[in-house]
Structures are given as structure tokens and as C-alpha cells.
Amino acid sequence: MSDPTRRAILDRLRSGGAPVAEIAAGFRMSRPAVSKHLRVLRQARLVREQRSGRQRIYRLEPAPLEGVLKWIESYRVFWQQALMNLKRHLERASGGEGDATPERGAAERPGSAEPTRASERRRGDE
């Protein structure tokens, strides 16, 4: 990835797959030189090769990064839910007492009816 030509090849493939000849033309490089770079990128699983008739088309291979993307996305959803739970928890705690004294709210006794009702309601939402 540190090689500027390989980065440029990846950049070129962002706009779609291409055969070696076309990639080489864009860089004014010999086909064997481009093929060598493509081999490195294939070994790094950043590019895959696809046969199309007599040609080989090279495309980006997003699979290894999709895992990372899914990882981040799962935490985005996680925070959205966690913050809503926290809001519900705090606003119920202060709202139910008439004045804002959250320490006397639902969390005071973990075995009290309030958290049980809340978890039943959440299950019902599924």
C-alpha cells in the first residue's frame, strides 16, 4: 500500500473494473510492470481478477474492509440505542417523583417493579 503506483492503481479501479491494457495505458507503463503491481494487490486481497471472454478484468475487492465497516456500524447502532436507554432511564427516574431527584428513582431498588415493567415493555417492542 505504501507504493504510490499501487495506490494510484487502486484509485483508478474505484471508478470500475478494467483490463491490464487499459490500466497500463492510463499510467504510461508497460503491461508487465502493471501486472506485477496487480499481483501484489491481489495477494493483499485488495484486488480480484475476473475473466471476461479472453480478457481479465481487475476489480477492487472490498470484502476485507467490509468487516471493519460492519464493526463501526454495529457500534453506531449500539450508541444510538444506549443513549436512548439512558434518556428513558433518567427521564423516568426524575419525572415519576414530581421533582428531579434521580437517586430516589427506579434504580434505587434493582428488584423493584419499575425495571421489570420496563424490560417487559422493551421485549414487547421487538
Partner 1 sequence: MMNASAVADVERGVIHARIEIHAPPDAVFRALTDPRELAAWWGSADTYQTSDWRVDLRPGGRWSAAARRRNEERLTTVRGEYRVVDPPRVLEYTWEPSWEDFQQTLVRIELEATGAGTRMTVTHSGFGARAEGCRMHGEGWKLVLEWLAGHVSVAEAAS
Residues forming contacts to partner 1 in the complex (CB under 8 A) are 1-2, 7, 10-11, 13-15, 46, 60, 62, 64-66, 68-69, 71-73, 75-91, 93-95, 100, 102-103, 106-107, 110, 115, 119, 122-123, 125-126
- The least CB distance from residue 105 to partner 1, in Å, is 9
CB atoms within 10 A of CB 105: 19
Could you tell me which residues are beta bridge partners of residue 52?
55
Task: Give the nearer residue to partner 1 in terms of CB position, either 30 or 64.
Answer: 64
Task: Give the nearer residue to partner 1 in terms of CB position, either 18 or 93.
Answer: 93
- The least CB distance from residue 54 to partner 1, in Å, is 26
**Which residues in 14-120 belong to E strands, given as ranges?**
18-19, 47-52, 55-60
Strands 55-60 and 18-19, by their bridges, are antiparallel
Pairwise CA distance, residues 81 & 87, whole Å: 10
Could you tell me which residues are beta bridge partners of residue 50?
57
Task: Give the nearer residue to partner 1 in terms of CB position, either 55 or 119.
Answer: 119
Task: Give the nearer residue to partner 1 in terms of CB position, either 12 or 31.
Answer: 12
- The least CB distance from residue 79 to partner 1, in Å, is 4
- The least CB distance from residue 21 to partner 1, in Å, is 22
Query: In terms of C-beta density within 10 A (0-12 exposed, 13-18 middle, 19 or more buried), how is residue 106 classed?
Result: buried
